[in-house]
Structures are given as structure tokens and as C-alpha cells.
Structure 1
Amino acid sequence: MKPEKNHEVIDVTYRNNTGKSRRTAFIYIIPILLFLSFSVYLNTLLNTFVFDDSYTVSENYFIRDWKNISYLFTHKYFVAFGEISYRPVVTLSYFADYLLWHMNPMGYHLTNVIFHTLNSILMFFLIRQISQNTVASFTGALIFICHPLLSEAVNAISYREDLFVVTFSIAAFIFFIKTFTHRKYYYYSPLSLLSYLFALFSKEMAITLPFLLALADYLLLNTLFKTGKLKTNTHYLILKKRLPLYGGYIFISIFYLFTRFLWFRNPVSYDNLNQLGNSLSQFLSMTTVLASYIKLLFFPMNLNADYVVPVIRSFAELPFILSSFLIITLSIVIYRLRVYSKILLFAILWFFLALLPVINIIPIGNIMAERYLYFPMIGFCFLGGILLSRISTSHQHPSLSNVFLRISLIVIILTGFSWQVKSRANDWKDHYSFWSGIISREPNSYRAHNSLSVLLLAKGKVDEALSAVQTALSVNPSYPESHNNLGHLYLRKGKYDMAIEEFDKALHGDPVLISAHYNKGIAYSNRDMYENAEKEFIWCIENGGKNPSTLYLLGSLYMKQDKHDEAIEIFRYLLSENPENPDLHKNLGVLYSKKGQQKDAIDEYNAALHYNPEDTGLHHNLGIEYFKRNQHVLAFQEFKQTLQAYPENINVLINIGNQLYAREDWDTSIEMFKTILEYQANNTEIRCLLANAYLKKGNSVNDAILQYKEILSYNQKHLEARNNLGIVYINERRYDEAIREFKEALTIYPDNLNILKNIGNLYFLNKMWDESIEIFQSILHLQNDDINAHYQLANAYYNKGYYEKAQQQLERGLTQTKDPAAINLLKSIQQQLNGNDRR
């Protein structure tokens, strides 16, 4: 007699395959599972986007447009969707989530909770399909719902791949069983293969599913026959019948491996992933990790989202010795179970087989993570369900006290687990809770210190943020995110060259780190290195989607470069996505103004004021555009709006003064200019306008003179003030003072024709012939075709009695002009001179 027949004491006891049992499952058990799952994870729905959710969802603009669905099948997938591995099924779910919920995190968390609940129901049916034990199946599903180790995969939206791989793997397993136990088996074979395909393209861990199916065939063949009521019990015939289906799994596995490691291999994912050193250190360290996983299954305490695993380098280190003892002991138990219970053996082996892809045989990004246990946990829940269903029971019909004991124990375990799950959900509430919680449990987490620095910087605590990121780099000097954040800190401090150096270090470690390219673009822009900044922003858009922030910066960069059309195109696109953004309308107004399109500028400024009527700068800009179109009344109204809010706004006052000056409102413009000068006493342009306004007014000449003198006290070289003051003195017949001003101007600007002409005419007017001759000669030296200078010089010669020189000067004037009127003028003067000579 075979040993397993003698010792099969733990296996299936409650075999109930009646229709009543099936009805019980749907009427009572499924609603309980639904209620419990949503109750346990209810507070998860209130959490925000945390950790990697920013890469996959909140800052991923590709998922917001279904046109980008094609990127799922190109190498752009990895950069566009923030994934290291090729997992298009999960990414597709983010498209669907955005369609339903947009950026409401509750919807995304709800999707995770729904799939976790679905997985618990599927696992109930899987265990029941194998064991025919409804109590064990129900208990296993309850453990799956409430076990705290699974909370990480449920709380993190970006870890949804772990939920999906279980969904499709269990479905594939159930369809596999039904292929050989159901009358319509031909339906289930392709469904099983299709589910396996979806599982693989959700996460790589599904590659172990064919091995789990083979293990089930090897260990549970008799059990499965009893479940399916097959007529034959011959291994050979059954396995022969399964070969075509196994061939399908092998074909899909080969196709996936080619896709994953050849056609859609992400080269970045293989850089700097081996954190454990050589093969010996890897073996020793992963032994301790495996022991830690086993411990957490039974004692899920001090759970953490970022475990720091010390590298074990020697067989003599205590953590390795203790871990080895635990694993060896467990191995002996497993070996004994091959005799006592093949179902329990299958459940335990499920855990270890499903865990194989994440124990760093091929280096992965994280050495240890709770989410890696989501798929292997099926085996543990299977094991726990059967064991808890058999506590204190050695009879076919357990006593009431034993049933009470069993239920009480299950309730105590599930209550403790549920409390921890709710507590863990609070850790995932927001970024600060998440990272501060990690640091409290794992002070050497460089990721946590780095991310905390980002949060501190956002709160304006620059020095604390710098300390946090330096701590992160002291633990892991090559972590790209830390160099990126350090660069961002330098950027905030205005140390642009140092910032660029840090961004280069970050991109050396991770060439597709979009935030590093983005920050580097900002640094280049602040250094006025516009071409470099433009390249960085364009790279971000091409590889990270049409992020509004990046597009806005690129548009602003084009504004700085006077690339008006390119900037307008970008801001127009952003307005199509967000038509109520006043800043976009304002920028378009500025651009249209620079292009001379005043009407379009006015329309944009008015649109901006519609959404932000309190922006006085918009009123100011709108007033300028009205002023340009000579719509002085509207301009005055806009400037007045700004003046009421900020009377000290000099630019507004200047524009109002200019507007009043243009309207020839001398009294008001004088008052406005005087107000401006109270704030800017040395504004010589405004003071000059004030002096001119005094002159235009007609009875304030002395005030004008005072203003011109005040200008010259600030700037002795102010030509306009000096010249105007001289002209005022001429009009006031204060010739000596006028001459003094013009002579002073000539010491600074000896070749200025206006000054020369004014002082020349003044000398001539005062019959200062020698001085006037000298000045007019200087004028003709600079401008030989000046007919008036020829005429005045000839007159001066004549008045000095130099008739021959006067005659010669007139002849020269005639040779310098072809203007008939000028020629006639000079000839008439020449005739007068000749007449005088004859007299």
C-alpha cells in the first residue's frame, strides 16, 4: 500500500459538490467577501497619488489622449508611460481610468480595490475547485483580503500590475482545470491561454504559471480527477491529453520572452540594477531576504515600502546563519509533506515557485518588496485556509466547541490583519505620511530621504531639503533622483552652473529621467542659453507627452527669443485644453502686441480680465493697446483702474501722463508728471515732458525754465534740456543766457547741427558777425548743402564788409543745390549784393 494512502490525514475533508454548496457560495460567501474587502480598504479610497503614481498617472500626459494608445506597441512606451518593463495591459487600464475619473485619485484607488476583491473571489473558486473544501476556500479568501502584506499592492496605483497578474493567472488556472473537467472544454482552452498571455503582459511573474500547472498535474492529478469525475485514472492518458495545451503555454512563454528581452527590451532597466555585488553576496543576501519574507507571512510587523537590505558577504554572518536554519527547517517540513498531504505541499511550493522571478536571479530594481508577495501569497492563503479549517478536528463531524474555536481564531487573526491594513492605508495617505513613515522605520532609506527633500523644498524649507538630499547621497551616491533634486535646490538658490552639473550626473545614471531634462532646461533658460533650454524642453515633450508645464516654459522661452509665431502656437494649444487660464490669454496679448496686432492683443487682455478682473497689470497692458489705437478715453479708463489699486505704480502713471499729454490736457498732464517726479525725481524724460507742458500751457515759462535747470542738475549732458532751455531764453530775449547754454552744449556735442544753427542764428540776430561767420562755416563743414547756412554766412560776410567773400559764398551755394526755389533765392540775394557794389 502506498504511503500517501496511509497518511492522507490533512487533505480534503469537506467534499461537498452539491448544488446547495454552489448556491451557498453565491448567496452568502461572495457578498461577505465583497463587503469585507471594501470595508477593510475603505480609507484607501481617500488617499492621494503617492510615490510612483506621479510617473504612471498624475504626471503622465500620454494616458490622457487615446491617440497615444499606439505607443503601447513602440519603444517609446518606456519613457512615455514611466515603466521599466513592458506591461501594456496595466498601462491600458490607466487610459481607461483617466477616461472615467480624469485626475480624481479616488477612482484609481477604487479600481485597485475592485481588482483585489475580484482576486479574492477568484482565489475562493480556485481553492474550492482543487480541494472541494468550501470552508478552506472561504478562509483562504478571507486571509487574502485582510493580510497586511498585500496592502502595498492595493494602496499603490502604480503597483496595479501585481493585482492584474493574479487576476489573469488565477483565471488561466481555473480555465485550465475546466478544460479537462467540463463538457464544453473547447471553450476553456483558448480562454486559459489568452488569460496567461494577459498575465504575462501585466507582469513578468506570470512566467511561473506553466510550472504551477505542471506541479498541480503532478501532485493533484487524483484530486482533480475526483473533482472532475473523469472515468480514467491513468497519468499517461491524462498528460497526453494535456500536451497540446502545454504546447500553447510554451509557445506564449517563448513569444513573451522574445518580446520582453529582445523586441521590447528597455536598455535602461539593466543599468545599475545589481546592488548585491558578486554571485556569492547575491546568494547570501537573498537567503536572508527569503527568510524575511517567510517571517512576514506569519508575523507581518514593521511593514515598510522601502526595505534596505544589508549585503551579506560571508557564510559566518549571523543573519545568514539564522536564515539558513529557518529555510532548512522549512525544507524538511516540505519534504515530509510529500507523504502526508500533497495539497499542502502544492500550496507551499506555489509560494516558492511564484517567488522565483523576484529573488534576483536576474537583477531587479528592488531587492525586497512586499508587493512581490502578492502572487506567491495565493499559496500561503491556500495553506492557511486548509490548516485553519482543520484545527482541532480529527472527526468527520466536528463538535460545536471546535467550530467555535476555529471561528474565534479566524476572527482574531483577521481582525488583527484588518487593523494593520487600515493602518497601512494611512501610511499611503499622502507623500509626507508615506516618506516620513518609511524613514521612521528605515533611517537608511535613500529613496525616502530624497523624496522628503522634495516635500521640504515645496514647503520652502530649503536648508532642511538640502540636508535630506545630502543624506540620501551619502547612502547612495549614484542615485539619479537625488542628483536631480540637489540640482533643483541649486536652481532655487540661483547656482545655475552647479545645478546643470547635478542634472548631468542624474542623466548619466538615468538618461530618460524627464524631470532632470525639465530642470536642466530651466537652468539653461535662466543662464540665457536659450538654444540648449529649447532642446531640453522639446525632448521632454517628445518623450514625456504634452505636459502643460513644459509647454508653458517652452512658449515663454520662445517669447524671450522673439519667436512670436512659435509661442502663439503653443499658447493657443494650451488654451484649447484650458480656455479659462488668464495667464495664457495675457501672454497671447503680449505676443500680439509685439507683432503690432493691437486688436487681437485687446481681445486677449479682455479675455484674461474676464477670468482675473483683479490683475492690475492686465488693465495697464490693455490701456497701452488702447493708447496705441488712439482710443484715449478707453486707455484713460484702464489706466485709472490700475491707478486706483496701486497709485505708486510708476509705469501706470507714466502712461496716464503720456495719454493726457497726447490729448493736450496740459493742466492734468502737469499734475500727473509732478506726481511721477515725487517717486522718481531723477526721471529726466518725465521732467522734460513737464517742462514742455508748461511751455505749451503758455503762461508758465519760468516753471519750464526751472524744470530744464533741474534736469541739467541731474545730467549736465542732457542735450534736449540744454537746447530747449536756450530756445526759451531766446524767446524771452535773454540772449546772453541763451548763448551760454548753447556754448555749454557745444563743449559736449561740438558737431550737433541743431545747436550750431541755434547759436549761429542767435549770433546773427545780435550782429555778432565774427562769431556767426565761425559757426556757419562749421555748419557748412558738416553739411555743405545747407542753403540757409550759405545765405547766413554770405550775409555775415556782407555785414562785415567782405563783399567779395559774400559773392563767392553765394556762388558756392548755387553749385550745392538744384532746388529751383533755392536757386532763385540765392540769385536774388546776389543781385542785391551786385547793386550794393555799384552803389
Structure 2
Amino acid sequence: MKKLFFASALSLFSLASFAQDAAKEDPAAKLLVDGFRKDKEKSDKDVTDPKSSAKAAFWMERAKLYENIASQASQVDSSAAKTAYEAYKKVVELDKTKKGEPGKSAKEAQTSLDGGEGTNLFNAFVRQGAEKYQAKNLAGALEMFTIAQEINKKDTLASLYGGIAAQQLDKKDIARDQFEKYATNGGKDPSVFYGLAQLYRAENNFDKAIETLNKGLTQSPNNKDLKAEIVNILLASGKEDQAIKELEALATADPKNTQNMVNLAILYDNMQRTAADSIKQIKVKMGTGTNASSSITKNIESEKGKIEVYDGEVKRIGALIKKQPKNADLKRQLSEVNAKKKESLAAITKMQGEITAAQEAAKGNDVAGMEKSLATLKAKQTEASGKAITNYKKVLEVDAANYDALFNLGVFYFNEAVLLKGEVDNMNMTEYQQRGKEIEGRVCGKFKKAKPYFEKAIQAKDEAEAKETLTTVNGVLEQFTSKGVACVDEP
């Protein structure tokens, strides 16, 4: 969107450049420029003359000369508008009646300073500001546009270009104020409202950003960029539910806009993934005591088995030593076995303490509360998953080659397969013998379901990410085939 209003700015600036180029080619224009140069030299000299510089008439003549230079021959003085501005103020200062009231010239000068009807000082500043912008003198351009606003406080042109110059100078506060003036004075360019909202967003002032976008929508009710940016800012501010409502409204209003549907599907997809992560964390917490105790108990049993072996070795080596009491190697072996037995006994003592600690930690868990949260999260995950798939498929009904929808659907089923495979990986031998093969078949089925989406995504757009993922899927399916696992297709 920023490119839109930069383009409109350049259209103004190019006109200024064209005028200057024309002056170089046209003999009559050159004559005019030469005349302005001579008049400028005389006026600049007279400024130092106490008699001339004390007269309001001199300053009025100087103001009009420099105003004309700024408007017609800026190459004579690129800041002529400022000189005209100061000269007009000098007229107001000097031209007083006997009663101390403004004289005729002072009133005329003040009218120019106020941008009155028929005056040209405002346009002179805008023109020279445009020329400075084109010459990449952004600070000079901003100064010109700022003074132009003082002359015509209700104008939108100077505030628009002043905001652009300030933004390029990275003077965000000034850019924001300039664009606010543009909006307040009735500016309608949606690009400005978009850019202003971005400035507020960068300050994390999300409410003001959305307010700005809504103002832009009152001027341009059907602008898709402004509507989409409202969704982005709602997401950035953590208002996911509100963002979904906005996107659903956009998708309903424009059912052919696949980007809205893709974004909506991604939101639901992210929602179900977040819920899945939370479910996993709660399950880990709920099983902390039991799982830890079970794992440690297995390790204790393993150490006890080692001690039985060590005891057997102690008896065997002890019997041999009785027969060969001077055998140093047998004594060394006995010492090593006793040392290992001691290590195992110490390990058992430590692990028994860990079991006690794990059980105590588990007592602090609000099991009932966690089970309630778990049920809520599972329902949310199921609903979000269904809506994500539905919206991805709606996109494909409109655009069967939509890369984002194809790739994300493939990822959706791929992730489901990975989660399910985690169940198999955590099984002990007994559990695997009971239901491992059945779950592996479902895992295989989900990988198989993901595969065609990645294939179609690659056909739509030759992206490395999709190709790499498809290679992974093919490798996993080959492993299942070699293990004799039959893929189970699920709806």
C-alpha cells in the first residue's frame, strides 16, 4: 500500500521537474529566468540599505518577487518561497496606521500568509517542497511542506507529502502528525490511512491503529487492504477471536477472495495447534508423578538385576580365591565387582528418593481442574481442526491450484501423523503387541493422505519446502511398506 501514495507524490514531483526542464529549452523562459536573477540581485542588495529596508513597500515588492521566483523559476533560488514568506511577515510588521492598526499592504500580506483566495504563496511552498523531494533533500522538502500547512491549515496536499517526507526520514512522530492532519482535513487516500495505522501499530497502539483503519473505511468502504490490515492488527494484539469474526465477514462478503479464506483457515489451523500444545502440556503435568515413578521403578528393577549378577560373581570369585588365596588377579576382579555393586546400591537409594519427590510433586496437581481444562481444549481443538480443513477445501473449490491451501492441508495431515506416531514410540513391548500395529496403520494412512497435497502444491509452485516434505513422506511410507504395515484410510 505504501507504494500507492509514493506514486501519487512522484506524479506531482515529476511535473515540477518538467517545468524546470522546459525553462532550459525555451528561449522566452530563459529570458524570464535571467530577469528574475537580475531583480533578485537588486532586491538582495537593497536589503542592506537602511532606507529601503525600512519601507513596507520594499518588503511587499520583495515578497512578490520571490513568490514569483518560487512559482516560475525555482532554479534561481530553491528556497525562494521562504524568503517571500519572511518578507510578507515584514510587511505586516512595518505597515501600521497612525492608530497602530494594519495598513492596506499589511492586510494584503496577511491574506497571503493565511492562504487567502487568489494568493499563491501556498502553491509556491508546495512546488519548492516537491523539487527538494525530487532532489532527495528530504529535510528541506519537509520544511517547505510544514510551512505550507501553516499557510493553509485546512489543506491535505502539503500534509500528505510532508508525511511522506517525514516517513522517509524515519521521523515517525512527525509523519504520524502529518498524516493525522491529512485525515482530519478530509483526506481520502486509503494508502495514507494504511500507512498511519502502520505507524500506530509500530508503537503497539493497536486501538488507535484500528480506529485509523476504520476512518479510512468510512472514506473507502470497499477497500480490501484496509479490511485485511484490521485482521492483521487484531492478531498482532492477541485478539484472535475478533480477527476470526472479521475474516469470516470478509469471506462471506467476497466468497471468491481466496486469500481471505486461506487466512481464515490458517487462523483456525493455528488455533488447533495451540490447543494441541496445551493438551500435551496438561497431560505431561497430570502424568508427572505416575510416569516418573513408573520410569524410575523400571530403572530400580534394572539395578537390582545387576546386583543379583554381582552377588553371583562375588560367590564365584570368592570360591576361586579359597582355592588360590595368592591369586592377585582374582582379588582384583572381586574388588571391581564389589565396587560396581556399591554403585548400584547407591543408585537405587538415589532413585527411591526421586520416586518420593515425584509423588509429592504430583500431590499438588489440581487433577479435577486439569481434566476440565483438558476437555475444553479437546473440544476447541476438534472444532478448530474441522473449520481449518473446511476453509482450506473451500479455497481449493475456487482455486484448485492454490499453493498455500494445498501445502497447509498436507502439513495438517502430516502433523496428525507425527502426533499419532508419538503414541507408538512411547509404547512398551506389551502395549505395542496389543495395539501398536493397528495405530501404525493409521499413522501410515495419514502420511498417505498428506502426500497428494504436497504433490499438487509442487505442481502449483516449485517450492523447496514442499519438495523436501514430500521426500520425507515418501521415505516414511517406504519404511511402512518394508515393515509390512498396511495403511488404514480414515475419513
Query: TM-score scaled to structure 2, two decimals?
Result: 0.44
Query: TM-score scaled to structure 1, two decimals?
Result: 0.27
Higher relative helix content = 2
